[in-house]
Chain A
Amino acid sequence: MSDETEEVAEESSEPEAEMAYGCPVSWSLDQKVIHPAAEAWKATAAALYLDGWNMCVDITAVDYLTFASNRQLPAGIAPERYEVVANFISHERRERIRARAQVSAADPVIDSLYEVFPGVDTLEREVFDMFGITFTGHPDLSRILMPETWEGHPLRKDFATGAIPVQFKGAPPAR
């Protein structure tokens, strides 16, 4: 998980290498996952782009606040509360790759990929809205689904779900 020295893995990398684009690799149900450090997030995305992963189809996040076990992270990756997950596609190779970066609860900030993949614009806004993770370098980081005045970030695990009582006209009184 070195962040400065980018070692781009060759296409025919040995299985025991377990590194790609300078990040540890794990296989989640035969889907390839790389684990860049949060500081190397943008650099890794740029390296992916230059290696032919030409589209970032999805960015989302997970709040691991109440997740019990170690969640299958490779050695050397310390689990943090938030995880930002990005999916990349290579049209040429017809393959997918997923990147998962750990983002700390104390300082939920990560670089925006907007400069590398402009298509992440609304996806990052959604993550910001739902999880309160800040993407530095995003041109317009604002709430997208919730109202601008909303307090809290709904998809965080400590955001309470509550029921709003609804009164129906003519309904029989509650017994």
Chain B
Amino acid sequence: MTIIENENETIDAAESVDVVASEASQLHKLPRRNAVLRMSEVRAAELVDSPLAGENDQTMLVNMGPAHPSTHGVLRLMLELDGETVRRSKHVIGYLHTGMEKTAENLTYLQGPTNVTRMDYAAPFFNELAFSLTVEKLLDVEIPERATWIRMLMSEMNRISSHLLFMATNGMDLGAVSMMIYGWREREQVLRFFEMVTGLRMNHNYIRPGGVAADLPDGWRDEVLALMDMLPPRLEEYDILMTGQPIWRDRLQGVGNFTADEAIALSATGPILRSTGVPWDLRRDMPYLAYDQVEFDVVVGTYGDCFDRYAIRLNEIRESMRIVRQIVDQMPKGDYRVQDTKVTPPPRARIDESMEALIHHFKIFTEGFKVPEGEAYVAVESPRGELGCYIVSDGSSKPYRMHFRGPSFVNLQSMSHMMADSLLADGVAIISSVDPILGEVDR
């Protein structure tokens, strides 16, 4: 690698800090640096109210959202339009901000998953997983094998449901309205499985520090296999309806182009990074859970356009199904959570006969368990990219600081760069292809 060869002489030659920094800044290839509209709302309002507005204007400032149907919730965009062409843009977020990171500082580690599961509401299991893995790292507990595989099963099913939701909304944004109904229909089937296992369709609080909340119910295998049989013909229907369709391809191919250099410079992860041809998937590259024991392919694109991002997600559903089938075959027997009464509540039956169990039960639900002092960052591959959780513990039963690195939050930065100099109508396709979940963006 040429960069590393240059490195020593660069640093030796550069006496001052700034030379090194500017050297590095030239290395990042970000050709559309001016794509971001850097303007405060106050300044924008001044411009609009200015008596000179409309005189010699070349460009126009337009707000899109936060209530626009294709902005996936409450995303707002400030667009600088030149006719119908978007020159610069800026995303304005925060409409769903509820201070979840602050809230987490006042909740015990046992209550934590209830809070974080509401961040990325289309993929709630991943939030719980990232949180639980971080807490377990701080606690240094090893969870039973079965719990690991249950977590993997639920994550992959959740990836399927999340991508099905993307199929639905992406179709709707681009005018394939029937696709919206199909996508929701299939997703609903997956959510029905979640309801069977966790009791809830969303916001499950199922994956908890120490394992999962309950064992898989009787008949889960049949339910999963029925889903696995139901989905492939439906996905083929999607192919007929969208993938091969000239209208669909014309609408997406070559729209929102993005290069690997730009994606890396902008810290993009997930399907956005992979669409540019970078084969980076945490499940394969930094395996967590038991992903090193299952076989799957990392789907990558070539052109980094909206079509690639669509196709990657469609094929990731297929890869996830492949993983799920392996999980069904290999699901180990055993316990679904650690039997460490300091971390997980004792079994219900024990409480009736053992005073000690009753005390543990009471202590865990009133005071919570204490986590040793330290800090840790653990990341998982959510359907949208790297979902990281950083927890600082001060040795008490509540996190001193909890931070979530939401993939949508970071991926949204790419949008302005994809949108620069494209048509406003393509902007909708681009927002949709980034697939932001605003609950996670704003937290």
Contact = CB atoms under 8 A, between A and B. Distances in A.
Contact of B268 (A52, A119, A146): A119
Interface of B: 1, 3-4, 6-8, 10-11, 15, 17, 20-25, 27-28, 30, 33, 36, 38, 40-42, 93-94, 97, 99, 101-102, 106, 137-138, 140, 264-269, 278, 280, 285-286, 373-377, 379, 386, 388, 390, 392, 394-395, 400-401, 403, 405, 409-410, 412-413, 442-443
Nearest to B279: A91
B16 to A, nearest CB: 8
Contact of A87 (B8, B99, B388): B388
Interface string A113-129: 00111111111001000
A133 to B, nearest CB: 14
B3 A71 contact: no
A72 interface: yes
Contacts of B7: 8, 47, 50-51
Nearest to A51: B7
Contact of A118 (B8, B266, B376): B266
Contact of B17 (A40, A49, A98, A119): A40
Contact of B377 (A87, A130, A144): A87
B368 to A, nearest CB: 18
Contact of B102 (A6, A118, A161): A161
A146 B102 CA distance: 13
Given A8-B7, A8-B11, A148-B42, A55 B21 contact: no
A60 B403 contact: yes
B376 A140 contact: no
A116 B28 contact: yes
Given A40-B17, A46-B20, A140-B38, 11 more contacts: A3-B17, A28-B374, A42-B17, A50-B7, A55-B267, A62-B400, A92-B1, A118-B33, A143-B94, A145-B442, A147-B94
B365 to A, nearest CB: 22
Tell which of B27, B94, B101, B286 has the most Cβ of chain A within 10 Å.
B94
A77 interface: no
A4 to B, nearest CB: 8
Contacts of B280: 91
A109 interface: no
Interface string A138-171: 0110111111100000110001010000000000
A118 B11 contact: no
A72 B374 contact: yes
A122 B413 contact: yes
A43 interface: yes
Contact of A116 (B25, B268, B386, B394): B25
Given A50-B23, A67-B400, A118 B410 contact: no
